[in-house]
Each structure stands twice: as C-alpha cells, then as structure tokens.
Amino acid sequence: MSNTENRTEFGSTLGFILSAAGSAVGLGNIWKFPGKAYACGGGAFLIVYLIMVAVIGTTVMMAEFTIGRKTHKGAVGALRELNSKFAWIGGLGVLTGFIILCYYCQVGGWAMYYIVAYITDVQTVWADPMAYFLNMLGANGFPLGAIVWAFVFLILTAFIISHGTAGIEKMSTILMPVLFVLLIGLMIRSCTLPGADEGLKYMLHVDFSTINGTAILTALGQAFFSLSLGMGVMITYASYLSREDNLVSNTAIVCTLDTLVALFAGFMIIPAVFATGIAPGMGGAFGFATLAGVFMAIPGGQFIGMIFYFLLFFAAITSSTSILEGCVAFLNEEKGIDRKKALVGLSVILFIIGVLYTLSQAFMNLKGIWISRNGIEFPIFGDFLEYLTDRLLLPLGAFFTTFFVGWIWGPDNSIQEATGEGRNKFALAPAYKFIVKFIDPIAIGAIIIAGMVFGMAIS
Ligand code: PFF
C-alpha cells in the first residue's frame, strides 16, 4: 500500500541543504571522528578519509539523491518504483536506521545530561571524570538520569518530526549556523592553547605506515555514517525536493559542509588533548570523560564545556530527526499507517529498547563485562551495535545502492535526474558513471569482505 498523496516539500533550497547537512553533521563528526582520527594515525587517516568522501561518499550521496527525487518516495517505495525486485534495499536501510537510533538517542541524552552537569555540578564531573561518566551509565546503581535524558531527547526528536519537513527545516536553519559558529570559536580556542602545536603537528603529519586495513575500513564506515549514507535517509530527504533543485551542487555542498565540521571537530579536540596532556582514549568515553579532563585544564573550561555539549546536542538532534523521519516515512507510505500513530508507536518502541540498552550497559558495568581499548574499559554492547552498523550494515546498504544504480536502474537515468533532465550542468557525469558502476561496488565490496575475513579489530 502506498500513501504519498499528501507529501510535503522543503520550503527552499537552503532549507534542504541545511536539513541534509543537519542530518549528516552529528555525533559522527564531533563524538566519533576526532577519536578515530587520533587512533588511526592523524594526518594519514585524514587523507584516506578525504579520499573516501570525495570518491565514494559523494557518488553514493548522488545515487541516493537521484533515487529519492526521481520517485518522490521514501527509501522502500522509491526502490520499488524503480524496480520492484529491489525494494528490500530500502528495507535494509530503514532497519539499519532503526538500530542506529537505538543508541543515538542514548548518546543524545548523555549530551543533555552533561549540559546540565556543567551548569549545575561541574566540580563533581571534574573530581573524577571517568567515574562520573560510568556512574551516569549505572556503574553504581539505577541509571535514572541517563534514561530520563534519553527520553527527553527522544520526545524532542519526535516533536520536531511531528511538524513534518517544516519542523526539520526550521530547526536546521536555526541550529546549523549556530553550530558552525560555536565550533569555529572552540577550534580557535583550542588551537591557541599553549602546547596545542603538538596536536596540530599530529593531525598534519602524514605517515602512511599507520594506514592498515582497519584504518581503511574505519574511514569508509565513518564516511558513510557521517554522511548519513547507506540507510536511505538521503533518499527520503531528496524525495521532498522539487524538480527545480540542483542535485549536483547540493551533493557537493552537503559533503563539503559535513567534512568541514568533522575536520573542525578534529582540530578542536586533538590540539586540546595534546595541550592538556590528557590520554586521548577512545570509544564512547572520549567525548565525555576524556574531554572533562581537557575542559578542567583550560581557563573558562566550565563555560566552554557547556557550549561544547550544546554543540553536541544540536548536532545530535538534527541527525536523529532525519533517521526517525526515514522510519516514519516507511511506515506511513508502505504500511499505510498514519504519521502521528507511526511516530508515537516508534517512539514507544525506541524508548523501551533504549531503556534496555542503558540497563544492559549498567548491568555490564556492574558485572565488569567490558572490553579494553587503548587503556579505557568500555561496555561491549554499545560497541557491538556500532560495529554492526558502521562496519557492516551501512557499507552493505551503500554497496547495494550503488550496485542498483550502476547495474539495474542505470547510471544514465541517475545522471538524467541529477541534471534535472538537462537543466543544470554536471561536468563530472562521466566520472560519476564510472565510479558508481565499477569503483563503488568493487571497493565497498572488497572492504566489507576484507573486514569479515580478517576480522579487523574495533578501533
Ligand atoms: N550522520 C550522522 C552523524 O554523523 O552523526 C548520523 C546519521 C544520521 C547516520 C542519519 C545515518 C543517518 F541516516
């Protein structure tokens, strides 16, 4: 059953760009990227990452944008319309999105928890940053705070979605510019700290001996996660675009903005970590426990820390809304469920899973079922979900999407849509055709298989 009569559209091109960039810019850029860039060798990783974005990221995004705008349908309906045998690719994407949302809302809740902590009780956070972080996760009892804040985060996400594209557009148009300004301010502050130059050197020094299979797979998974690819979200967003919008420039702008934010975040966090001599550490604790050490050590750290968590929260909510929108569009268009009912139902299920997720982390904390990464112990479950989505499901989604465009729907149809039936220029169309047909499926497929065969370590 399909229910697409009363579809809304984005009000303006800028609104779409900021919304798509809002989806892309998220916890992936600010919470994940700096830690991965640090762990995978700094400068060399940045180069590998930039190549992944420029060659694979942009073409997968273009593929998703063209599928979405061509059909004006959410992920599943769009693929079904182009070829009914391939609707499952969209279904895989919706499922991946749902899994990501389960932990995304939790981390969004952590950001809110820390905003409040920095305003009201920063001395306790700073007294023992790691203990504070684990305490929030339930190391010493019921993790009520984490659950409540994740709930608030989820409700806010659902509230914004309840206003459709207008809600998403309005939020992104306000929050994205604020996020940019805050981030640049924090980056300048960090890079001018005494001792920050060591961190800058680390981020700019290119030593390719640090690049191994794990680093390449990490860069690829990170690129997909960061650009919101491989799960049909960009298909759904582009389905709300009108024929007048230029998909070529939109792809370039969204990829550039997302990558700039990741780089800014890297150049905000790593120099500060070096300047303060805090062991960087990795995993979920990076943006919370490790950075507490950094904020504690710099003048005005309480205020700067609070701004940072606002930033993280803005980034998270503009992304969580996009994932939830993808799931709601699926239930509405494919199952004929009323948008409001779909939203309430999904929110309840996400809340229950979220509580179980938080409690399982608390349980593992209590039982000590952790893994150790770079000296930091971390509960396994969160890592497992991240591993499953970033290492497997997102690359798989992107693989099937490019295979579909390259070999089933056909790159010429995609290019036709990208240029708005010849209305706008697409100088790189021949390169796009070649990459989407050959490079993307082969490179993504090879990296997925290598990851499975060699069982690359979590980084
Ligand atoms: N791109 C977001 C981030 O970097 O945090 C996460 C994300 C949003 C992934 C939407 C996938 C998605 F569909």
Indicate the domain borders of the chain: 13-452
Which residues are CB-contacts of 285 (< 8 A; sequence separation ≥ 6)?
130, 133, 376, 378
CATH topology assigned to domain 13-452 = Amino acid/polyamine transporter I (1.20.1740)
User: Is the distance from the beta carbon of residue 97 to the nearest atom of ligand 1 less than 6 Å?
Assistant: yes
The alpha carbon of 99 and the centre of ligand 1 are apart by a number of angstroms equal to: 12
pLDDT value at residue 189: 85
Q: Which atom of ligand 1 is nearest to the CA of 231?
A: 13
pLDDT value at residue 281: 55
pLDDT value at residue 458: 40
User: Is the distance from the beta carbon of residue 228 to the nearest atom of ligand 1 less than 6 Å?
Assistant: yes
The alpha carbon of 325 and the centre of ligand 1 are apart by a number of angstroms equal to: 12
pLDDT value at residue 59: 97
The alpha carbon of 448 and the centre of ligand 1 are apart by a number of angstroms equal to: 19
Q: Is the dihedral of CA 199, 201, 202, 204 positive or negative?
A: positive
Among protein residues, the one with the nearest Cα to ligand 1's atom 10 is 228
pLDDT value at residue 68: 95
User: Is the distance from the beta carbon of residue 26 to the nearest atom of ligand 1 less than 6 Å?
Assistant: yes
The alpha carbon of 227 and the centre of ligand 1 are apart by a number of angstroms equal to: 6
The alpha carbon of 194 and the centre of ligand 1 are apart by a number of angstroms equal to: 34
pLDDT value at residue 3: 46
The alpha carbon of 288 and the centre of ligand 1 are apart by a number of angstroms equal to: 20
User: Is the distance from the beta carbon of residue 319 to the nearest atom of ligand 1 less than 6 Å?
Assistant: yes
Q: Which atom of ligand 1 is nearest to the CA of 26?
A: 5
Q: Which atom of ligand 1 is nearest to the CA of 258?
A: 4
Return the exposure string of 204-229: e unless at least 16 CB atoms fall within 10 Å of the residue's CB, then b: eeeeeebbbebbbbbbbbbbbbbbbb
Q: Which atom of ligand 1 is nearest to the CA of 226?
A: 4
Cβ neighbours, 10 Å, residue 336:
11
How far is 453 from 127, CA to CA, in rounded Å? Answer: 44
Amino acid residing at 40 = C
Low-confidence ranges of the chain (pLDDT < 50): 1-5, 373-377, 457-459
Write the DSSP assignment of 337-400 as a string of letters: --HHHHHHHHHHHHHHHHHHHHHHHHHHHHHT-EEEETTEEEEHHHHHHHIIIIIIIHHHHHHH
The alpha carbon of residue 361 and the mean position of all alpha carbons in its chain are separated, in whole angstroms, by 21
Among protein residues, the one with the nearest Cα to ligand 1's atom 13 is 228
User: Is the distance from the beta carbon of residue 24 to the nearest atom of ligand 1 less than 6 Å?
Assistant: yes
pTM reported for the whole predicted model: 0.88
The alpha carbon of 152 and the centre of ligand 1 are apart by a number of angstroms equal to: 19
The alpha carbon of 101 and the centre of ligand 1 are apart by a number of angstroms equal to: 9
How far is 122 from 246, CA to CA, in rounded Å? Answer: 47
* Cα–Cα distances in angstroms (integers) from residue 296 to residues 17, 34, 126, 276, in the given order: 36, 19, 6, 9
User: Is the distance from the beta carbon of residue 113 to the nearest atom of ligand 1 less than 6 Å?
Assistant: no
Which of 99, 259, 323 should be mutated for ligand 1, with most atoms under 8 A from CB?
323
Residue with tokens 């995609």: 414
